[in-house]
Amino acid sequence: MPLAIIPLLLTAALVVFTVVVGGVTLTLERANHEGFELSQLRDRDRVRHGRFLQQQTTGVVDFPVEGTYDPYLVGLYFTRVQLGTPPKEFYVQIDTGSDVLWVSCNPCSGCPTSSGLQIQLEFFDPSISSTVSQISCSDQRCALGTQTSDSGCNDRNQCGYTFQYGDGSGTSGYYVADSIYFDSVVGNSLTANNSAQVVFGCSTSQTGDLTKPDRAVDGIFGFGQQGLSVISQLSSQGITPNAFSHCLKGENGGGGILVLGQIVEPNLVYTPLVASQPHYNVNLQSIAVNGQTLSISPSVFATSNNRGTIIDSGTTLAYFAEEAYDPFVTAITQVVSQSVRPLVSKGNQCYLTTSSVSDIFPPVSLNFAGGASMILSPQDYLLQQNSVGGAAVWCIGIQKISGQGITILGDLVLKDKIVVYDLGGQRIGWANYDCSLSVNVSTTTSNGKTEFVNAGLVNNNSSPNYELYKLIPIAILAFLLHISFFGVFPFL
């Protein structure tokens, strides 16, 4: 499904945050953009959903995180990873919907050499690294690749891969093993410049949107659950916990926290992950508006044959299956119809009001297996579209997916919450939280004792590393998705 490019320019100001994890600094950046409409966000999320991927002593590890988050942007978080010997730094997208870390390699057909994101693109060269090793077709790690991609052998006995995306873009290459470098906190001790051997993809060909320089990064960092994901590899080596966490700040310039480890918060509630799924599927059981449970059959949310409820920080908005969306919108409208003027704007259910939405619109509760509920404030399901004569137009940001039986909880509802992906415990937890505050992250000491390290305070003015973003075409935003694989869902 090709992605429409919208020829519009907007100014993006980069805001920088820093969070300290037991003495380890994570840098998180975001760019502010304005001017998107819900229809454009839906279009980009539609491409995102069409590209879902089918398919010892531990410590908290720091990958320095940068990037964007905004309800009116397609959000992207990316990190810098160091690979090879001597180490070379690469900018890679963080993607919870795919599994493999891959970077552009030398030589590469179609790979961009410059980026409109004002980052320096690099190429990994296996002939230069003194610690690299090839993954042969008989290597058991090559078999893991078949879980996440089309895999095959070339005439040099290299374990190859092909990733194909729903918008027509794709990449192919071969797997290598080499050193990845990181800082780690174990107990009260910080150790810098650690390294481990991990398998990652060496991209020798890219097509479609991946080739466009105005939206380019060096590769993709998959945070999925399969064996070739870096988090799975580091965990199996006893280097990191089998968990990661994020807390995305929704107001006052955005920002947030992302760590390899479990953020600890007394108000966290957990729901089990659905077993044997390629995505982070959970069992949503019911939806309540203003305390009243909606009349929706639980089968609407059941996981089976590519159906169900997915938690995905790579999706900008949130999406309900059609059978849940219509009762949800009807219930919201009934509650507020005496206080606001309902209207339909460009196919979206909207409301015209001069009052604060917090005073008018009801809370929404998403209720999951295990008794966990995600409480949504009005700002977690509404987006302000524009203003008319001094009145604000607020639209329901949660969108409809027709005929697919899929519900996707994206950044619209995940922002301003701690979200913990406890892969070892096969559960996901969350709690409403001010993501500008400090957090604790659990870590295990050498004697097996669980301790906690403080992840510090977010500081809006702590890093001068990047200038203000210059005028950037909205075309860039098309690539600012956490790219994943699967078949193309004909959403919307």
Q: Which residues are catalytic?
A: 95, 312
Sheet containing 284-289: give its strands across.
Answer: 292-293, 284-289, 364-368, 373-376
d(CA 220, CA 148): 13
Q: In this structure, which long-range contacts are made by residues 270-273, counting pairs with CB atoms below 8 Å and at least 24 apart in sequence?
A: 270/370, 270/372, 270/420, 270/422, 270/425, 270/427, 270/428, 270/429, 271/368, 271/369, 271/370, 271/372, 271/427, 271/428, 271/429, 272/369, 272/370, 272/426, 272/427, 273/426, 273/427, 273/428
Residue 440 burial by CB count (10 A; 0-12/13-18/19+): exposed, middle or buried? middle
d(CA 310, CA 301): 10
- Cβ contacts of residue 448 below 8 Å, gap of 6+? none
Phi, psi of 227 (to 5 degrees): -65, -25
Q: How many CB atoms lie within 10 A of CB 452?
A: 17
Token digits of residue 121: 């693109």
CB of 14 within 8 A of CB of 51?
no
In the three-class reduction of DSSP (H, G, I as helix; E, B as strand; rest coil), residue 160 is classed as: strand
Token digits of residue 112: 């961009």
Q: How remote is the C-alpha of 37 from its chain's centroid? A: 21
Number of residues in the chain: 492
Token digits of residue 422: 């406890």
Q: In this structure, which long-range contacts are made by residues 334-341, counting pairs with CB atoms below 8 Å and at least 24 apart in sequence?
A: 335/289, 335/290, 335/361, 335/362, 336/360, 336/361, 336/362
- Give which of 106, 102, 101 is closest to 123, Cα–Cα: 106
d(CA 381, CA 366): 12
